[in-house]
Structure 1
Amino acid sequence: MIDGPDPTEEESVWQPLRRLLADMDDEIGRLYRQRGLDGIRPRFVMPLIRLGHRGAMTIRELAGALDVTHSAMSQTVSAMRREGLVRSVAGTDARTRQVTLTKRAHALLPLLEAEWRATEQAVRELEGELPHPLSEVVRDLEEALARRSFHDRIAHHLRRSPEQSS
Structure 2
Amino acid sequence: MTQEKERPGGGADDPGRESLWRPLRELQEAMDAEIARVYAERRIEGLKPSFVRELLRLDACGPMTIGALATSVGLTPSALSQKVAAMRTAGWVRTVPGADARSRRVTLTAKSRQVVGRLAAEWRATEAALAELEAEVPYPLSRVVVDIERALERQSFHDRIAAKLAADPAWE
Q: Take 1:95 and 1:18, find their aligned partners in 2: how far apart are those partners?
A: 37
* Partner of residue 17, structure 1: 24
| Residue identity in the other structure for 1:96 | S
Q: Take 1:105 and 1:77, find their aligned partners in 2: how far apart are those partners?
A: 13
Hey, which bits of structure 1, 4+ residues long, moved more than 2 A?
A: none
Among residues 135, 159, 165, which one is paired with 1:152 in the alignment?
Answer: 159
* Partner of residue 5, structure 1: 13
TM-score, scaled to structure 2:
0.91
| Residue identity in the other structure for 2:15 | P
The alignment partner of 2:64 has SS state of coil
Q: How big is the shift at 1:164?
A: 2.2
* Partner of residue 27, structure 1: 34
Q: How does 1:32-47 map to 2 (within 5 A)?
A: 32-47=39-54
Q: How big is the shift at 1:137?
A: 0.8
Deviation string for 1:94-130 (max 9, x for gaps)?
2211010011111111100000000000000000000
The count of residues paired between Structure 1 and Structure 2 equals 163
Deviation string for 1:123-160 (max 9, x for gaps)?
00000000101111110000001111101101110111
Among residues 149, 152, 169, which one is paired with 1:162 in the alignment?
Answer: 169
TM-score, scaled to structure 1:
0.94
The alignment partner of 1:38 has SS state of coil
* Partner of residue 7, structure 2: none
Q: How big is the shift at 1:4?
A: 7.6
**Structure 2 segments unaligned to the other structure (5+ residues):** 5-10
1:103 is aligned to 2:98: no
The alignment partner of 2:96 has SS state of strand
Closer, same or farther in 2 for the Cα pair 1:106/1:4, shift >3 Å? closer
Superposition RMSD on alpha carbons, in Å? 1.5
Q: Take 1:15 and 1:164, find their aligned partners in 2: how far apart are those partners?
A: 24
**Structure 1 segments unaligned to the other structure (5+ residues):** none
Q: Take 2:42 and 2:119, find their aligned partners in 1: how far apart are those partners?
A: 11
Q: Take 2:122 and 2:65, find their aligned partners in 1: how far apart are those partners?
A: 26
The alignment partner of 1:73 has SS state of helix
